[in-house]
Structure 1
Amino acid sequence: MSTWTAVPDLGPGPHGAVYPPDRAAWRAWLEAHHATAKGVWLIYYKKGSGMPTIAYPDMVKECLCFGWIDSRVSKLDEARYLQLITPRKPKSVWSKINKGYIEELEREGLLMPAGIAKIDAAKADGSWTALDEVEALVIPEDLAATLAASPAAQATFATYSPSTLKLALTKLAAAKRPETRQKRLTELIALATEGKKPVP
Structure 2
Amino acid sequence: MREAPENSVHPLTRAAWREWLEEHHARAEGVWLVSYKVASGKPRFTYEESVEEALCFGWIDSKGNKLDDERSLLWFAPRKARTGWSKPNKERVERLVAAGLMRPAGQAKVDAARQDGSWSALDAVEALEIPPDLAVALAAYSQAAAHFDAFPRSAKRGILEWIVSAKTPATRAKRIAETARLAEENKRANQWRQ
How big is the shift at 1:8?
A: 5.0
SS at match of 2:120: coil
Q: For residues 171 and 50 of structure 2, what CA distance do their matches in structure 1 show?
A: 30
* Amino acid corresponding to residue 51 of structure 2 in structure 1: V
Cα separation, partners in 2 of 1:182 and 1:83, compared to 1, 3 Å: farther
Gaps of 5+ in 2: none
Q: Which amino acid aligns with 2:54?
A: C
CA contact (8 A) 1:91 1:176 kept: no
Residue 108 (structure 1) aligned with residue 105 (structure 2): no
Question: Using the alignment, how far apart are the partners of 2:169 and 2:42 within structure 1?
Answer: 46
Aligned residue in 2 for 1:58: 49
Alpha-carbon distance in 2 for matches of 1:182, 1:80: 42
Q: Is the 8 A contact 2:58 2:78 kept in 1?
A: yes
1:35–1:77 distance in 2 versus 1, CA, 3 Å: same
1:96-137: CA deviation from partner (whole Å, max 9, x where unpaired)? 111111111111111111111111111111101111111221
| Identical-residue share of aligned pairs (%) | 51
What is the CA–CA distance in structure 2 between the aligned matches of 1:66 and 1:186, rounded to whole Å?
38
Report the TM-score when normalising by structure 2.
Answer: 0.87
Matched, 1:89 2:77: no
Which of 151, 171, 174 is residue 162 of structure 2 equivalent to?
Answer: 171
- Return 5+ residue gaps in structure 1 as ranges: 1-6, 10-15
Matched, 1:73 2:88: no
CA separation in 2, counterparts of 1:114 and 1:170? 26
Moved more, 152-161 or 132-141: 152-161
Name the SS of the counterpart of 2:76 in structure 1: strand
Decide which of 111, 117, 122 is 2:113's aligned counterpart. Answer: 122
Name the stretch that deviates more: 74-83 or 174-183: 174-183
Contact kept? 2:5, 2:32, Cα under 8 Å = no
Length-normalised TM-score, structure 1: 0.85
| Distance verdict in 2 for CA 1:64–1:147, change over 3 Å | same
Count of residues in Structure 1 that have an aligned counterpart in Structure 2: 189
Aligned to 1:24: 15
1:117 aligned partner, one-letter code: A
